[in-house]
Amino acid sequence: MTLFTGLSAFPLTPIDDEGQLKSELLQRFLERIVAAGADSIGLLGSTGGYAYLTPEERKRTLRAAVDCVAGRTPLVVGVGALTTDVAEDLARDARKAGADGLLLAPMSYQPLTDDEVFRHFEAVAAAGELPLCIYNNPGTTKFTFSPDLIARLAEISNVAAVKMPLPADSDYAGEMRSQRAVTPDGFAVGYSGDWGAKDALLAGGACWYSVVAGLLPEPALALTRASQAGNAAEAERIDHAFAPLWALFREFGSFRVMFTIAEILGLGRITPPRPILPLEPASRERVEVALRPLLQDAV
């Protein structure tokens, strides 16, 4: 499944203070990703703030993205929602609008059982009729997919990949061997958590689902290609340039930092959705310092 391989870049969704999409700014983000040559765009993921947007806002964002990208780069869209009915509707809309794939997280208020998650994914995959990636993001959903549940889900038609969090023991190779042993051939196991991208890709991960590539696609792609080629020395060099930024991602959360990066790059000033607060000026200065090696042709 080539759709869920390589570098998937996740842009912010620029919304103004009145809740309206800033289409021209979204286009700027997307054009940078397309021009860099990323393997796919992950629209309306966690970095895209999907959980803070209404279904109507998400549909408008998808259509603006489809119009801009125009088939030049595969477009994977997040369709997670609190209810199965809404997620099904978003999945059907994604197919009609021209998305290439789906990303589904089990959003919830009440804790979900494995059977509830299975039936949720089964219904949404059927409604969307597009290749679907399981979004295993316990940091936000508080639900962790067991290997057995991923294996069950991988048998559903259209479920083609999983987006994993970084393993606590950093045993990427071991985790992937275990997962591939119980999933069909071609099922793609990829990772999020930007600071672990190098190690995950060098260990054979299929995809880096990247926050930072949403605004800095060129150095992110350089790190991806070096890792995919098994060039550990080059991958380490590039990752070292990213290290100060990775530290800020871990300290503040990558979502908050990305809004500051957009402003520093001169792409536009947007603020996170309330109650999320922008970084303080002193922290903004730290982001500026962290960006220097990445903006001075260090990679």
Is the distance from CB of 130 to CB of 104 less than 8 angstroms? Answer: no
Residue-by-residue DSSP string for 112-124: PPHHHHHHHHHHH
- Round to whole Å and give the CA distance between 25 and 4: 26
> Which residue, among 175, 173, 185, 169, has the nearest Cα to 146 in the 3D structure?
175
Catalytic residue among 50, 59, 135, 172: 135
Residue 12 Cα distances to 29, 129, 215, angstroms:
8, 26, 8
> Which residue, among 209, 161, 261, 227, has the nearest Cα to 38 in the 3D structure?
209
- 163 assigned to active site: yes
Contacts of 59 (CB under 8 A, 6+ apart): 90, 93, 97
Residue 211, token pair as written in the block:
């926050």
Handedness of CA 269, 272, 275, 281 (dihedral sign): negative
Residue 87 Cα distances to 1, 17, 77, 90, angstroms:
23, 26, 12, 5
Contacts of 230 (CB under 8 A, 6+ apart): 202
- Round to whole Å and give the CA distance between 11 and 9: 6
CA dihedral 44, 45, 48, 53 (to 10 degrees): 60
- 52 assigned to active site: no
Q: Is 140 annotated as a binding residue?
A: no
Catalytic residue among 52, 59, 96, 163: 163
- Round to whole Å and give the CA distance between 141 and 117: 12
Mark the binding-site residues, compressed into ranges: 47
Mark the binding-site residues for pyruvate, compressed into ranges: 47
Catalytic residues: 135, 163
